[in-house]
Amino acid sequence: MKRITAILLVLTVVLSLLLSGCGCSKKPADTEPSTEATLAPTEATTPALTLPLQDPNRHPLTGEKLAEPWSGQIVAVKVNNIRDAMPQHGVSQADVVYEIEEEGTTRNMALYSDISKVDRIGSIRSTRTYFVSVAAAYDAYLVHCGTSTHANNGGYDHNGNKVSNWKDIDEQKGAYSQYFYRDKDRYSAGYAWEHTLFTSGERLAKALEGKPMSAPKTGFIFKEGVELTGGETANEITIKFKTSGKTTTFIYDAETGLYARNQYGKACIDGNNQQLDAVKNVITLYTKQWYCSQGHGHHYYDTIGSGEGYAAVNGKIVPIKWSRASVDAPYIYTLADGSPLEMDVGRSYIAIVGEKFPIEYK
């Protein structure tokens, strides 16, 4: 009897260790059986993709040709994306914009290669573990206001893998609060207090004075005038975020060669300059998602591993594969046959969608 009790005790300890890390078991958010084949291959069946050679004389985020190799600080700013906080400010000037679902909505992370050129940015919100992980892929400084329970004071990704060099610019830490401000006019106009926090390129440039340069290895391969061989027509793309029901639609303009971002039934117009937010490349990545009810309750995503998705450029769309070897490694993208994905020169939007919830395009 004592031997059985001891064995049960050991099993209980082992199980508790396996379920620790973020404090919740790793399980999909949607536990109902699916009738569709998953788009996320397992690590056992999908080898890691090889980081392609990058042209040092092209901009790492946009692919623009440079006279000499790029050097600077990549800054990733967490920007509010809820309907009640519109319009956004400064997002149209970002080189890359991420959209990932959080609790009941989505949030954006805007990546800038020269923050000094941007006017005001916001409104600013808190970060989550998966944004910490994605920012680390670019060796970026992550600008935000507070964190979720599991991201707080640790810099850990979803599985407890430590982001060893989390470049953290948190408004709630006293040393950085001076680089943010509350827009009292916005509050007087009826915006909730949590939708009034802003910063600016000038302020962030001061916050970054004397800090190391970024060393991004983005996995992007750029080429002017990309034609996606075998791609299907994609003049309109709708990305659905299943849990929140949020959708983001892109409308292709053949004259400009850009996809205009639309949400909440209207075009996304930057509050700084009244400019339409339009991008050259639209990428959707599928990965596993689960929900942790601990604390206030948060979503989690596999930001490391491999999976599938879609890439759209110049009015065409194709299926792709993605891979990321570790929390310090970049994302790598290929076509379905394993050849490198070529992106066109310009701005990019990347959605990380937690479950296979097919995008619509026509």
Q: How confident is the model at residue 14 (pLDDT cuts 50, 70, 90)?
A: very low
Total residue length of the chain: 362
- Cis upstream peptide for 87 (omega within 30°): yes
- Determine which of 305-314, 334-343, 347-356 has the lowest per-residue pLDDT on average: 347-356
Which residues have C-beta within 8 Å of that of residue 285, sequence separation ≥ 6?
A: 307, 309, 322, 331, 350, 351, 352, 353
pLDDT-derived band at 338, boundaries 50, 70, 90:
very high
Per-residue model confidence (pLDDT) at position 149: 56
Section 169-187 average pLDDT: 93
Q: What's the N-to-C CA distance of the chain in angstroms?
A: 66
Place of tokens 């491999």: 306
DSSP structure string for 92-149: GG-SEEEEEE-SSSEEEEEEES-GGG--EEE-B--B-HHHHHHHHHTTPEEEES-B-T
The second-level CATH assignment, the architecture, of 33-362 is 3-Layer(bba) Sandwich (3.50)
Q: Is the pLDDT of residue 138 over 70?
A: yes
Look at residue 94 and tell me whether its pLDDT is greater than 90.
Answer: yes
Q: Which helix (H) or strand (E) holds 226?
A: none
Query: What is residue 227's predicted lDDT score, i.e. its pLDDT?
Result: 92
Residues 34-72 have pLDDT tens digits of 322 223 333 333 445 565 566 778 999 999 999 999 999
pLDDT at 27 (0 to 100): 41
Position 133, amino acid = S
User: Is 213:73 a contact under the CB 8 Å cutoff?
Assistant: yes
Q: How far is 264 from 82, CA to CA, in rounded Å?
A: 9
**Are 82 and 166 contacting, i.e. CB atoms less than 8 angstroms apart?**
no
Mean residue pLDDT across the chain = 83
- Answer yes or no: is pLDDT of 187 > 80: yes
Average pLDDT of the segment spanning 101-127: 93
**pLDDT at position 90 over 60:** yes
Say if strands 232-233 and 316-324 run parallel, antiparallel, or are unpaired.
antiparallel
Tokens for 236, please give them: 């309109």
User: What is the reported pLDDT for 39?
Assistant: 31
252-271 per-position pLDDT tens digit: 999 999 999 999 999 999 99
Q: Is 23 left (phi over 0), alpha (psi -120 to 50) or beta?
A: left
Residue 345 has pLDDT above 90, yes or no: yes
Give the helix, strand, coil percentages of the chain, each rounded to 5. Answer: 15, 35, 55
Is residue 309 over pLDDT 50? yes
Element (H, E) at 7: helix 2-18
Dist. CA 20–CA 320, nearest whole Å? 33
Q: What is the pLDDT of residue 13?
A: 36
* 191-246 pLDDT tens trace: 999 999 999 999 999 999 999 999 888 889 999 999 998 999 999 999 998 777 89
Q: How many C-beta neighbours within 10 Å does residue 145 have? A: 22
- Residue predicted with more confidence, 36 or 161: 161
307 - beta bridge partners? 322
Q: Does 123 sit behind a cis peptide bond, omega within 30 degrees of 0 on the bond before it?
A: yes
CB 115, CB 75: distance < 8 Å = yes
For residue 102, pLDDT beyond 80: yes
- For 350-358, what is the mean pLDDT? 84
What pLDDT score does 89 carry? 98
CA 85/CA 352 separation, integer angstroms: 21
Between 152 and 337, the more confident residue is 337
Q: 3-state DSSP call for residue 136?
A: helix
Range with the poorest average pLDDT among 6-20, 124-138, 285-299, 333-347: 6-20
Cα–Cα distance for residue pair 244/222, rounded to 1 Å: 33
Q: What is the pLDDT of residue 237?
A: 98
Please give the share of the chain, as a percent, with pLDDT higher than 90. Answer: 61
- Distance separating alpha carbons of residues 81 and 15, to the nearest angstrom: 38
Please give the torsion angle defined by the CA atoms of residues 25, 34, 103 and 309, in that order, rounded to the nearest 10 degrees: 100
Is pLDDT above 60 for 2?
A: no
Of 85 and 149, more confident: 85
Q: Are 283 and 333 in contact (CB under 8 A)?
A: yes
Cβ atoms of 166 and 142 within 8 Å: the answer is yes
